[in-house]
Structure formats: C-alpha cells, structure tokens
Structure 1
Amino acid sequence: MARWFRFARAAEAPPIVPMSGWSAPLTTLASAAMSFLAVLTLIAGLAADRLAEDWRQDLAGLATVRVSAEPEVLETRVMRALEVVRTAPGIAAARVLSEAEHLALIAPWIGGVEALEALPAPRLIDLTLEGDGPDAARLQSRLDRDAPGAVYDDHAAWRGPLARAAAAVGRLAWAATVLVMLAACAMVALAAQATLTAHLDIVRVIRLIGGEDRYIAGAFVRRLALRGLAGGMAGAGLALLALAALPGSGAGGVLGGLLPGTFGWIAIPIAVPLLTAAIAWATARASVRIALGRML
C-alpha cells in the first residue's frame, strides 16, 4: 500500500498544495476500499447473470414424464407413456432413464441409495422438446387415458422462480455497485472540502498574486484524482487476489464457471481503477469549484 502512496505523491503537479493533513492517506484508503467492494459486487452481479443464463439454457427444451404405479404394472405403464410422448407433436426425443441414472438423481436428496430400497420410486422419461413444446393439457389428457399415473412436467413451476431469483441477486449486486460508487463520490467530496479548507491560506495567497480559480482547482483535482487512481489500483488488485484464493475458483472448480474469464481478469483491474479515478476527478472538480465560488 505504501507503494501507491509514493506513486500518488510523485505524480502530483502543480505542487502548490503541501502533502499534509489527514485527507491525503484517507482519500487513497477510501478509494482502495471502495474499489475493493466495487470489484466484488461487480463480479457478483456478473456471476448471478451468468448463473441465470446457464439455468435458462440448461432447462430450455427439457421436460420429464413421471410414471407411478404398482410394481407389477409399472413397466407396462412406462412403455405406454413412452409411446404417447414419442407420437406427440413438439417432442423431439424421449428415453426412459436407467435405474442407475434415476438413483443418481434422487440419492443426494434423501441421504443415499440405501434409503431408496424401501421407497416405491417412480420411473422417469426424459424428454427433449422442439419449438414451443407440446400442448401440455392435451398431452396430459392422453397420458391419463393410456398410462394412468403418468404426469408430464415441463419444470415451469420451479424453473421460473430459480431464474427470477438469480436475476434478482444480479440486480441487487449491480445496485450495490452503484451504491459503492456513490459512497466513493461522497468520500471524495468530503476529502476535497477538507483539503481546500486546510489550505485556505495558500488559496488566498495564490489569488492575491493573480492565480485563477481554474489553476487552483486543477491542482486540487489532479491530486485527488491521482490518489483515487492509486487507491483504486490497490483495491482492485486485492479484490482479485481474494477471489483467486477462494476454494474452487480454478477452471475446474465450483466457482470457476461463475468467475470472470481471462478477459474479465484483465479488464476489471483496469476498468475499476480508471472508473474510481474518473469519479474522484469529477467529484473533486465539482466540489472544489463550488467551494471556491463560496470564497468570493
């Protein structure tokens, strides 16, 4: 972190504002904290959007038929249901899940395969839909007639809520990113006011010798913007290191598919510090000009 302070100090010009006061390190630290949070909320929003899209793609065009019956007639009912769905319009393919596939789907929810032995588990027919899919009511009517106990399920009852929940999480993450940036604006505005007030005598002297407000504002704004850039670079770097250290963040890990790809790892640490510096510059410029105007 000290390295970024040195960078901000060396790059500032013109040097009419002494490097003193609490606002100098606080501005950089605040920018680093805001940048850190902005990266995390930004990536959370991107991950939620990607998760919602993955769910939509994975579930689009898929449906199942669940067949429940007494053991002695179960296989007959399954074959009849398979005949019905294979001849129904809007269904491209249908296959009965094997016993192993069926157990693999259910076992995680009930504590293991052993618990299934005492349960009259139904059989499942996996469907691949085409176009808008079948007419659900008509298909269910045929199943009720030819294969009693068979139920068509296009997963709409829980597919929609899952996608909406992921989208809502994404919106919350984007809203949090905006709030973080607004907080950064407030912090920079306070720092600009504090810095200008702390060096009020210098400002008055520069005015007496003919210095224009534009020159004075430029000195303060440049300094605060560079501090924002330095803090933004530090905060973004720390955020990416924290994300990279998370368990399962590798290419084959649980989080690997949700975290940004190669382009994201390069673009985010560039975009966020630049955005932080731009926010610091715009906020400081407005704050300093307003404060100088009040001093007339």
Structure 2
Amino acid sequence: MNEVMQRLDLVRDAAFRLIEEWRKGPSQSPIVPQGNVAGTALIIVIAIMTFLACLTFGGVSLVRDSAAAWQSQISKEATIQIRPVEGEDMEALLAQAGKIAQGFAGVTSTRVIDRAATARLLEPWLGSGLNIDELPVPRLVVVSIDEESPPDFANLRAELVRNVPGASFDDHRTWVDRLVSMARTTVLIGMSVLALVIAATVLTVIFATRGAMAGNGHIIEVLHFIGAEAKFVAREFERHFFRTAFKGALCGGGAAVLMFLLISWWSSRNLATPEADQAAALFGNFAIGRDGYIGVAIIILLVSVLTMITTRLTVITQLKEMDNRGSESI
C-alpha cells in the first residue's frame, strides 16, 4: 500500500511539473510532438486532398465560365437557313431573308455567309476545292440579336417561312437549354466531389487526432484527472493540427495553382495547333481568373479551420469517454 501511495505521489508531482512547464510560455513542451512521422504523413495527406479539392473547384470554375461564354455567344445570334429551291435565285432569297429579319425590333444586324465561307465550313467533311453551286448545300444568314430586348421569334419564323421559299429559322434556344443543363450538372458533380474530398479530409484528421491522443495518452490522462480542463488539452491539439493542416493545405493549393498556370502557359504557347484550339473552344485559355484564385485561398483556409474544429471536437469527445470509463470503474 505504501509503495502504491509513493508512486501516486511521484505521478502527481510529475504532473504538476508538466502543467507548470506548459503554462510558462511559448517555449513550453507541447503535448503533441512536433515533426513526428505521423505529423509528416498527415501533412502529405492533407496536401493531396487540398490539391484534389482545388483542382475540382478550378475545373468547375472553367466549365461554368466557358458555359456562360457559350450561352452569351449563342444568345446573341440566330440563324436563317435557306435550302436550294429549283427555279429560285439563292442570292435573292438570302437578301430577302435578311431584309425581313431586319424589319423586326430586337434584330441589330444580319450577315450573309458567302460561298467561300460556306465552303470553309464544309472542308472538314467534304475537303477543299468545293463548288458550292454544284451541290445542294443550304446557305446561312446570321442574325445578330439584342440580348436585352430580343425579337418575337415565333412571328419572325412564321414571316420567313411564308415569304422565303426553303427558309427555316433557328433561334438556338434548344442549344442554350441543353448548355445550361450540362453546366448545372457539371457544377453539381464537381461540388459533390469537393464535398467528398473534404469529408475524407475530416475523417483523416479524426483518425490522426485519435492516434496522437493514444500516443500521448499517459500524459493526457494524468493531466486530465488532476484537474486540467478539457479546453486546455483540446487547445494544445487544435494548435498543432491547425499548423499541420495549414502547411499541407498551402502545399496542395500551391501545387494546384501551379498546375493551372502551367496548363494556361501551354495553351497560350500552342494556340495554332488543333489540340489547343479544341481545348480552348471547350475551356477557354484554362485561366481560372481572380475568382478561381480566391476560391483556392478559401479552400486552403477552410481545410485548416475544419481540421482545427474537428480536432477540438474529437479531443473533447475522447476526454468525455475517458471520464465515463473512469466513473464506471469506480
């Protein structure tokens, strides 16, 4: 019995010395060791998660901005298509269609696609050197539209069909609706992936916190049972994990920004190639813009703060479980 009491006295004295050391200032010995293997692994994991989250956010931003640009361009124009009609002068039909369209309020201008431009449009499928007059190829009139006050498309279509043989009118509304639906679906998928990445990061932090507490359980248990408040222990852990998460998130976010800059640089250096032209048509110049960089910074801060909050809640929960086990043993 005396031996047990002596050991308890030694543990108590050691605990008091630990508390006094931790209360002295910034040179205090931390509960969670700095720079251990687990901490380095956590930095790498958080860096990877943040990198994926920033890539997802940047990709969603690119698709959203490109879709908005496509929608704006499509909404500014409509197309009149005139099929060849036997006995009719195509040039006269094109001029008549343009004149009818310009008579409607909301139409700013019309432009006839000439023979050379029509041949260039068909080159990918029919090759070069085409004679448009020898082929039953429809001709086009591009109608520029005032986005703020568009014309009455139904009346314009009816007027063209009634007065111009072989004419049809496409206001591109079907394409706009499909484009908006595609953009919304892409954004929803991207946000879902982003949420999953953040959830995986939170779970990783929970396991890392539990591991750190298990590794330093003897110190935490002594401190807690001799009167150290849960907030004191939780504060030590959340400081450590906030610094760890911020380092990892900063590395991951920086790598994502560097990748976007490299892709944008590659795109600008290869503008003349077919691959770059098609990529630019889909995603622009791969520049995520100011909003994209602000979003990356927000993700870095969000990951760090979520890590800190998750750590605090995990530590407090673990200490409560420790209290419950202690009361049950009594």
The interval holding the TM-score normalised by the smaller chain is: 0.7 to 0.9
Cα pair distance change 1:111/1:276, threshold 3 Å: farther
- 1: distance between equivalents of 2:210 and 2:47? 20
Give the alignment of 1:262-281 within 5 angstroms.
264-265=292-293, 267-268=294-295, 270-281=297-308
Task: Quote the offset at 1:165 in angstroms.
Answer: 0.7
**Could you tell me whether the CA contact under 8 Å between 1:69 and 1:77 is conserved in 2?**
no
**Could you tell me whether the CA contact under 8 Å between 2:261 and 2:287 is conserved in 1?**
no
Q: Which residue of 1 aligns with 2:313?
A: 286
SS in 2 for 1:245: helix
**Could you tell me whether the CA contact under 8 Å between 2:102 and 2:109 is conserved in 1?**
yes
Cα pair distance change 1:244/1:256, threshold 3 Å: farther
Q: Which residue of 1 aligns with 2:78?
A: 63
- 2: distance between equivalents of 1:272 and 1:92? 44
* 1:140 maps to which of 138, 157, 167: 157
**Could you tell me whether the CA contact under 8 Å between 1:52 and 1:167 is conserved in 2?**
no
**Could you tell me whether the CA contact under 8 Å between 2:58 and 2:292 is conserved in 1?**
no
SS in 1 for 2:288: coil
Task: Quote the offset at 1:269 in angstroms.
Answer: 5.1
Letter in 2 for 1:231: G
Cα pair distance change 1:259/1:111, threshold 3 Å: farther
Q: Which residue of 2 aligns with 1:3?
A: none
Q: Which residue of 1 aligns with 2:56?
A: 41
TM-score by length of 1: 0.85
Cα pair distance change 1:13/1:142, threshold 3 Å: farther
Q: RCO greater where, 1 or 2, for CA within 8 Å and sep 6 or more?
A: 1
* 2:232 maps to which of 215, 223, 226: 215
Q: Which residue of 1 aligns with 2:144?
A: 128
SS in 2 for 1:113: coil
Cα pair distance change 1:141/1:211, threshold 3 Å: closer
**Could you tell me whether the CA contact under 8 Å between 1:13 and 1:223 is conserved in 2?**
no
**Could you tell me whether the CA contact under 8 Å between 1:65 and 1:153 is conserved in 2?**
yes
Task: Quote the offset at 1:169 in angstroms.
Answer: 0.9
- 1: distance between equivalents of 2:49 and 2:186? 20
Q: Which residue of 1 aligns with 2:328?
A: none
SS in 2 for 1:66: strand
Q: Which residue of 2 aligns with 1:193?
A: 210
Consecutive unaligned residues in structure 2, runs of 5 or more: 1-25, 324-330
- 2: distance between equivalents of 1:261 and 1:269? 11
Let me know the Cα RMSD of the aligned residues.
Answer: 2.7
Letter in 2 for 1:140: R
Q: Does 1:96 align with 2:123?
A: no
Task: Quote the offset at 1:294 in angstroms.
Answer: 0.6
Cα pair distance change 1:105/1:76, threshold 3 Å: same
* 1:261 maps to which of 266, 274, 289: 289
- 2: distance between equivalents of 1:102 and 1:150? 17
The one-character-per-residue Cα deviations of 1:143-186 (angstroms, maximum 9, x if unpaired) are 22321101111011222202321232122112211221111111
- 1: distance between equivalents of 2:110 and 2:249? 54
The structure with the largest alpha-carbon Rg is: 2
Q: Which residue of 1 aligns with 2:15?
A: none
TM-score by length of 2: 0.77
**Could you tell me whether the CA contact under 8 Å between 1:15 and 1:219 is conserved in 2?**
yes
Cα pair distance change 1:83/1:250, threshold 3 Å: closer
Amino-acid identity (%): 26
State the aligned residue count.
Answer: 284
Consecutive unaligned residues in structure 1, runs of 5 or more: 1-10
